[in-house]
Amino acid sequence: MGALAAHSEYIGEILIKRGVVPADRMAPLVQLVREKGQTLVELLVTGKVADERAIAEALAAECGLGFMAKIDVEAIPDEVASKIPITYAKQYKILPLQEDESCVYCVTADPLLVTAVDDVRTIFKKPVELAVVTNEAVMNAINRVWERKGATGNLEGDQANEEDNVVDILDSDDDAPIIAWVNGLFAQAVRERASDIHIEPEERDVVVRFRVDGELYVVRRASKQFIAPIMSRVKIMASLNIAEKRLPQDGRISLKIAGKSVDIRVSTVPTSRGFERIVMRILQKTSVLLGLDELGFSPREYRIMDDLINRPDGIILVTGPTGSGKTTTLYACLNRINHPNINILTAEDPVEYEIGGLHQVHVQASIGLTFASALRAFLRQDPDVVMVGEIRDKETADIAIHASLTGHLVLSTLHTNDAPSSVTRLVEMEIEPFLVRSSVIGVLAQRLVRMLCPHCRVPYHPTAYELEQLALDPRRLAQKARRVLKGKYAPHDLDYKFVGQTLLEHDLGYEQAVKEIVFHKPGGCDACGNKGFLGRRGIYELMLVDDVVGPLILKNADAMTVKRAARQAGMDSLRDDGARKVLSGMTTVEEVLAATQEDVLVDE
Ligand SMILES: [Zn+2]
């Protein structure tokens, strides 16, 4: 007779003796325990032979222990509960609640498992005071305690030094610490606003890096022997094939961490060392879904964008390299016009976030579902607005133009450095210039720059070189200010107006002019984790296809000519918009220059 069956038989005898279960119903159940491997209590409860509470009370009485109807999970300190690995707690249905000088107070659903009580006594090195609870109560409490720990990320003190993490995993050879370690990692990533988690084996250990605001940092290390269990755990969560270690795999994890819904895209790649590395992209609704007014547009850009997305037809293009925040911008636009009376269809690769009210399709080239074929199918679905992830080829461009000309608003992206180049790129795809002119209504180029932490940024007076790099030399500012004053610029262009006017009115020399301008550099404080930066925002170049730019497209003018004309009509280049954000203390000169290296300044 197996141990489980023997134990069940013993419990069965007690329950019969105490009148909880009639003897004639017990025998077949004990037989089932042997066949199915379920516990007697589980069979009694699922078979509705006896209820949980009656069983627990009978066991408590038999052992001379108290029965506890309810467990106050909030009152259980993490450091007490976590002394017992979760798999052990679940297997033996035992949970420590409190500890004092004299003993440790535990609840169990099975007080007859004396070995478990012995183990707890050994771990805490003090006597165990036991109370009996129902099976359901103890399992719920165990789950909630561990969820709580996972949610707050205190699993193994990830705030402490990295050695602690290693030791924690070494403590036990069962799976629970790995699960806790991975859960804690996700919680830490969300807390520290990481966009990506990289787990990779190195010479001696496993290194975990977070990408925060575009920069990678080492956040944890673990002993190399744990690379396999860590990888397996992540693969299980992402529904990947654990056994496949030679081919790349892609998967997805959906989690709730501290009340926030988090989607994680998982990618595994084998390395030459025989191990895999895992990169996870974290998609937090709160960072992907921003309002149009939260993107960091200047008032002019905001007004134009808001007008463009409310037009009935036309193509709006967003351009920039990978990771420049194009998707966030497109989502913000769609969200703005997302009403029940508007049919919005999107083709994305992949769908980064599901937005209620939108019909989103994940394109898969491998099965023939391309941007072009999705877009063609959309047009038979009576759409008002379509968003197509990217225009990469003539076919997609043709259909997008057709859609626009037949009364649909089309949003898409292109890979070009600046807004004017998008027009020439379409012409290079063999699209007739007159079709570009009659369909494209606006092009937004963008980059992401890190925002200074407002709590610790350090003001300073910029050097002449820095001003020159941002085209903020007094001569140019004065020129801009003159245009503002003449009404050529929108009157809300306050930063330039203020700075330029100051220079004009006081007729300052260069030396003094520099002293009037204040820039900021990063400091470091608790709010930003000593990084000096907090979050990222876009810098933008929004080109309107209007009476200035339109005729140039028809004439097949080069990008430089288009750019010069657009700027003279009031468009700010990426670097101009960056300069505005430097002037208003949002970011640094270095951030803007790094993000706009290829943004060629056109001399006016
Ligand atoms: Zn700070």
Strands 458-460 and 128-132: unpaired
pLDDT band at 287 (very low <50, low <70, confident <90, very high): low
Centroid of ligand 1 to alpha carbon of 535 (angstroms): 11
Q: By the 8 A CB rule, do 223 and 246 touch?
A: no
Q: What is the mean pLDDT of residues 542-567?
A: 94
**Residue 215 burial (CB < 10 Å; 0-12/13-18/19+)?**
exposed
Cβ atoms within 10 Å of 310's Cβ, excluding its own: 11
Centroid of ligand 1 to alpha carbon of 352 (angstroms): 30
Centroid of ligand 1 to alpha carbon of 584 (angstroms): 17
Centroid of ligand 1 to alpha carbon of 531 (angstroms): 7
Instruction: Please tell me the predicted confidence (pLDDT) of residue 82.
Output: 82
Instruction: Please tell me the predicted confidence (pLDDT) of residue 159.
Output: 34
Q: Where is pLDDT greater, at 139 or 159?
A: 139
Centroid of ligand 1 to alpha carbon of 454 (angstroms): 7
Centroid of ligand 1 to alpha carbon of 366 (angstroms): 46
Please tell me the pTM assigned to this model: 0.63
Centroid of ligand 1 to alpha carbon of 529 (angstroms): 7
Q: By the 8 A CB rule, do 77 and 100 touch?
A: no
Centroid of ligand 1 to alpha carbon of 193 (angstroms): 14
Window from 161-170, 258-267, 373-382, 565-574 with minimum mean pLDDT: 161-170
Instruction: Please tell me the predicted confidence (pLDDT) of residue 154.
Output: 33
Centroid of ligand 1 to alpha carbon of 88 (angstroms): 43
Instruction: Please tell me the predicted confidence (pLDDT) of residue 600.
Output: 52
Strand order in the sheet with 205-212: 215-223, 205-212, 194-201, 276-284, 260-270, 249-257
% of the chain at pLDDT higher than 70: 85
Centroid of ligand 1 to alpha carbon of 459 (angstroms): 13
Q: By the 8 A CB rule, do 502 and 480 touch?
A: no
Centroid of ligand 1 to alpha carbon of 302 (angstroms): 28
The two three-digit tokens of residue 201, written as one number: 């084996």
Q: By the 8 A CB rule, do 446 and 319 touch?
A: yes
The two three-digit tokens of residue 534, written as one number: 């907090």
Q: What is the mean pLDDT of residues 131-135?
A: 92
Centroid of ligand 1 to alpha carbon of 189 (angstroms): 19
pLDDT band at 174 (very low <50, low <70, confident <90, very high): low
Centroid of ligand 1 to alpha carbon of 188 (angstroms): 19
Please state whether 535 falls in left (phi above 0), alpha (psi between -120 and 50) or beta.
left
- pLDDT one-digit tens code per residue, 160-169: 333 333 333 3
Centroid of ligand 1 to alpha carbon of 536 (angstroms): 14
Centroid of ligand 1 to alpha carbon of 521 (angstroms): 11
Rounded to whole angstroms, the Cα distance separating 181 from 169 reads 8
Centroid of ligand 1 to alpha carbon of 196 (angstroms): 22
Window from 85-89, 266-270, 376-380 with minimum mean pLDDT: 85-89
CB burial of 229-256 (b: ≥16 within 10 Å; e: otherwise) equals bbbbbbbebbebeeeebeeebebbbebe
pLDDT at residue 433 is higher than 90: yes
pLDDT band at 485 (very low <50, low <70, confident <90, very high): low
Centroid of ligand 1 to alpha carbon of 522 (angstroms): 8
Q: By the 8 A CB rule, do 336 and 292 touch?
A: yes
Rounded to whole angstroms, the Cα distance separating 208 from 199 reads 5
Instruction: Please tell me the predicted confidence (pLDDT) of residue 87.
Output: 73
Instruction: Please tell me the predicted confidence (pLDDT) of residue 97.
Output: 92
Centroid of ligand 1 to alpha carbon of 200 (angstroms): 30
Centroid of ligand 1 to alpha carbon of 541 (angstroms): 28
Strand partners, 264: 253, 282
- pLDDT one-digit tens code per residue, 573-598: 899 899 889 988 999 999 999 999 87
Instruction: Please tell me the predicted confidence (pLDDT) of residue 285.
Output: 65
Rounded to whole angstroms, the Cα distance separating 409 from 310 reads 9
Instruction: Please tell me the predicted confidence (pLDDT) of residue 510.
Output: 58
pLDDT at residue 112 is higher than 60: yes
| Helices 474-485 and 494-506: angle between axes, nearest 10 degrees | 110
- pLDDT one-digit tens code per residue, 183-201: 888 888 888 888 899 998 8
Largest CA distance in the chain: 106
Q: Where is pLDDT greater, at 173 or 467?
A: 467
Cβ atoms within 10 Å of 79's Cβ, excluding its own: 9
Centroid of ligand 1 to alpha carbon of 440 (angstroms): 42
- pLDDT one-digit tens code per residue, 216-257: 888 888 887 788 888 888 998 888 888 888 888 888 888 877
Centroid of ligand 1 to alpha carbon of 180 (angstroms): 30
Residue where the block lists tokens 């330039």 = 496
pLDDT at residue 533 is higher than 90: yes
- What does each C-alpha distance from 196 to 182, 210, 283, 320 come to in angstroms? 14, 6, 9, 20
Centroid of ligand 1 to alpha carbon of 458 (angstroms): 10
The two three-digit tokens of residue 532, written as one number: 């000096």
Centroid of ligand 1 to alpha carbon of 532 (angstroms): 5
Comparing C-alpha atoms, which of 540, 583, 351 is closest to residue 448? 540
Window from 362-376, 397-411, 489-503 with minimum mean pLDDT: 489-503
Comparing C-alpha atoms, which of 145, 107, 111, 106 is closest to residue 127? 106
The two three-digit tokens of residue 407, written as one number: 């009364």
Instruction: Please tell me the predicted confidence (pLDDT) of residue 498.
Output: 56
Instruction: Please tell me the predicted confidence (pLDDT) of residue 149.
Output: 66
Centroid of ligand 1 to alpha carbon of 144 (angstroms): 34
Centroid of ligand 1 to alpha carbon of 457 (angstroms): 7
Instruction: Please tell me the predicted confidence (pLDDT) of residue 40.
Output: 83
The two three-digit tokens of residue 155, written as one number: 């699993």
Rounded to whole angstroms, the Cα distance separating 364 from 368 reads 7
Centroid of ligand 1 to alpha carbon of 585 (angstroms): 13
Centroid of ligand 1 to alpha carbon of 122 (angstroms): 47
- pLDDT one-digit tens code per residue, 311-348: 999 999 999 998 899 999 999 999 999 998 999 999 99
Window from 176-180, 212-216, 304-308, 380-384 with minimum mean pLDDT: 176-180
Centroid of ligand 1 to alpha carbon of 534 (angstroms): 7
pLDDT band at 490 (very low <50, low <70, confident <90, very high): very low
Instruction: Please tell me the predicted confidence (pLDDT) of residue 511.
Output: 61
**Would you list the DSSP string of 492-561?**
T-HHHHHHHHHHHHHT--HHHHHHH--EEE----GGGTTSSEEEEEEEEEEEE-STTHHHHHHTT--HHH
pLDDT at residue 472 is higher than 80: no
Instruction: Please tell me the predicted confidence (pLDDT) of residue 161.
Output: 37
Centroid of ligand 1 to alpha carbon of 452 (angstroms): 8
Centroid of ligand 1 to alpha carbon of 213 (angstroms): 14
Q: Where is pLDDT greater, at 387 or 30?
A: 387
- 164 membership: H or E segment, kind and range: helix 162-170
Centroid of ligand 1 to alpha carbon of 450 (angstroms): 12
Instruction: Please tell me the predicted confidence (pLDDT) of residue 37.
Output: 66
- What does each C-alpha distance from 602 to 44, 197, 302, 471 come to in angstroms? 82, 40, 24, 10
User: Around ion ligand 1, which residues have CB less than 5 A away?
Assistant: 453, 455-456, 525, 527-528
Instruction: Please tell me the predicted confidence (pLDDT) of residue 170.
Output: 33
Mean pLDDT of the chain: 83
Q: What is the mean pLDDT of residues 101-127?
A: 87
Q: What is the mean pLDDT of residues 351-360?
A: 85
Q: What is the mean pLDDT of residues 114-123?
A: 84
Centroid of ligand 1 to alpha carbon of 514 (angstroms): 26
The two three-digit tokens of residue 412, written as one number: 């898409």
Centroid of ligand 1 to alpha carbon of 587 (angstroms): 13
**Would you list the DSSP string of 167-213?**
HHHHT-SSSHHHHHHHHHHHHHHHHTTEEEEEEEE-SSEEEEEEEET
Centroid of ligand 1 to alpha carbon of 525 (angstroms): 4
pLDDT at residue 363 is higher than 80: yes
